[in-house]
């Protein structure tokens, strides 16, 4: 287990984010802060980067192209991270990456808050699209 993993866990605890599961061998944690729109957020130390990823919704095969166009537009507005598709194009995720080597509390906090902000700003629209997508 690297010192980076322990540092990340300490930062999360200092942010009052609940660690609901962890895999020390893989150096990843699953965290929650439902009040902030964070549910099953995976934070994975994959030296040299930290991967932050949360499932937003599963997509239907016939998802409207306007939805993807809208996602690309709002990605431009996000402070950190982006809405992305998984490798199979079946799930919409929020994803951000940070450098582990010089990671500090403020960087991690900003990335997590960016997800919260995105969910508060775009959550209603995502729910509307989720009904059709």
Nearest Cα neighbor of 52 from 23, 22, 29, 73 is 29
Residue-wise DSSP of 86-99: -TTS-EEEEEEEEE
Q: How far apart are CA 31 and CA 49, in angstroms?
A: 18
Could you tell me where the DSSP H helices lie in the chain? 3-14, 65-75, 105-132
Pairing of strands 49-58, 38-46: antiparallel
Q: How far apart are CA 115 and CA 120, in angstroms?
A: 9
pTM (2 d.p.): 0.91
Instruction: Kindly report, residue by residue over 74-122, the tens digit of the pLDDT.
Output: 999 999 999 999 999 999 999 999 999 999 999 999 999 999 999 999 9
| Full set of structural domains in the chain with CATH | 3-132 (3.30.1460.10)
Average pLDDT over residues 1-22: 93
Q: Which residues, in sequence order, are bridge partners of residue 122? A: none
CB of 48 within 8 A of CB of 99? yes
């Amino acid at each position: 287990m690297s010192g980076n993993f322990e540092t990340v866990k300490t930062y999360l605890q200092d942010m009052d984010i609940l660690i609901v599961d962890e895999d020390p061998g893989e150096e990843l944690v699953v965290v929650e802060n439902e009040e902030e729109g964070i549910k099953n957020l995976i934070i994975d130390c994959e030296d040299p980067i930290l991967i932050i990823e949360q499932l937003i919704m599963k997509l239907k095969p016939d998802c409207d192209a306007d939805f993807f166009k809208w996602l690309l537009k709002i990605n431009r507005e996000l402070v950190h991270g982006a809405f992305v598709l998984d490798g199979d194009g079946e799930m919409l995720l929020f994803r951000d990456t940070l450098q582990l080597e010089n990671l500090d509390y403020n960087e991690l906090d900003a990335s997590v808050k960016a997800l919260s902000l995105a969910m508060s700003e775009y959550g209603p629209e995502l729910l509307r699209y989720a009904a059709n997508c």
